[in-house]
Amino acid sequence: MALRALVALALVAVPTAVALEQTVEVDGRAIRLYPAVLDTDPGLPSPSTTANGTEVVVGRTADGRWTVLDVTVENGEGYVYGRGGKGRQLEVDGDDFPTLAVTGLHDEVELDRTRTVTRRSTAHITEIGRPGMSSGAGFMAADEDLISVLRGDNRRVCSLGLTHPALARPLFHVWNAILGQLEAIRAEGGGWGDVVAVRYHGHEVGVRWSTTRGWQESIFDDEILGGCHIEISRSLDDAERAFLEAAYPEAATGVIDLLTRVHVGEIAPFYVMRYGFYEGHTDYRAEPLALALIFGLKTVEELEEAFPGRLPGVLTTRFTREEVAGGAG
């Protein structure tokens, strides 16, 4: 696994005052939030939103118990390395991408004339985003550029009938669940990353994470920092697996692997929400098709309907200018 920076993995425990043992009301029931744990499944829809607007997911702990986590997506205090802070999770770069801010999707005419993003030239962002520049793994492949990646994934998300905010939200839910655990750790009142899965639209989604001693700066001129490795995955059921094996008998193993796991940092949900950027074809790519399937936004049949007979190529073809000009996406 390629790392963003040459740093050792470690949990950063900085004591700070946080409010633990909070409760929310769901369908007339008072539910204690993480780090409180339950011996039985609370039976809540997950994700769900309470009457006061709190977004929650049900999590499973390493010892087989259950917990309910506050994962509300919101504009919070700015992220400070080692001390938390949600950051501006609902912000979209409407100055550079006005259509994205209104519709949740890019307009290709706007992309054609985009020369700067957050006051940085797209050429500079591309240069520092390639492997070996601002990070070892890079934010895009060596033959990709920022606009081709934005265009390719925008077409992909359009074909799925989704929007960038719709795909950013479950990523934020995962990140906010991790933030809740970090707060409990810092307050010395919770387990050390003991939530190993969350339930999402009927699927158990595995979540593994670790923090670093350093941080990854964003390639955009923004406040976003990366300090975590996050692996998100889910297993297919027998019917899903059989469908893909029948559709792609020679390539099913590779397709299934690419559709059922992603390795990202906490930068990913901000990038998807703010810029419609899932990163290019690197080890940190937040592949839209995988996000849609893992979080139950689309079925395998719907993915195949959107890209009939093409899933192996769609999942592996890089967004070079030539490929995107030829209709890749």
pLDDT in the model for residue 313: 97
pLDDT in the model for residue 6: 27
- How does pLDDT run along the chain (329 residues), one tens digit per residue? 333 332 222 233 333 333 455 888 877 788 899 999 999 999 999 999 988 889 999 999 999 999 999 999 999 887 665 566 799 999 999 999 999 999 999 999 999 999 999 999 999 999 999 999 988 899 999 999 999 999 999 999 999 999 999 999 999 999 999 999 988 887 765 555 689 999 999 999 999 998 877 778 899 989 888 888 999 999 999 999 999 999 999 999 999 999 999 999 999 999 999 999 999 999 999 999 999 999 999 999 999 999 999 999 999 999 998 888 867 77
Report cis status (omega within 30 of 0) of the bond before 35.
yes
DSSP β-ladder status, 195-200 and 55-61: antiparallel
pTM of the model: 0.91
CA dist., res. 280 & res. 317, Å (int): 10
CA dist., res. 163 & res. 165, Å (int): 6
Domain boundaries, the chain: 78-83+160-325
pLDDT in the model for residue 19: 45
Distances (CA, A) of 194 to 35, 187, 206: 10, 15, 12
Half-sphere exposure of 131 (CA within 13 A, CB side): 13
SS3 55: strand
CA dist., res. 300 & res. 160, Å (int): 11
Tell me 186's DSSP state: H
Please report, in angstroms and rounded to a whole number, the separation of the first and last CA atoms in the chain: 26
Cβ-in-10-Å burial (0-12, 13-18, 19+) of 8 comes to exposed
Is residue 101 within 8 Å of residue 94, measured between CB atoms?
yes
pLDDT in the model for residue 3: 33
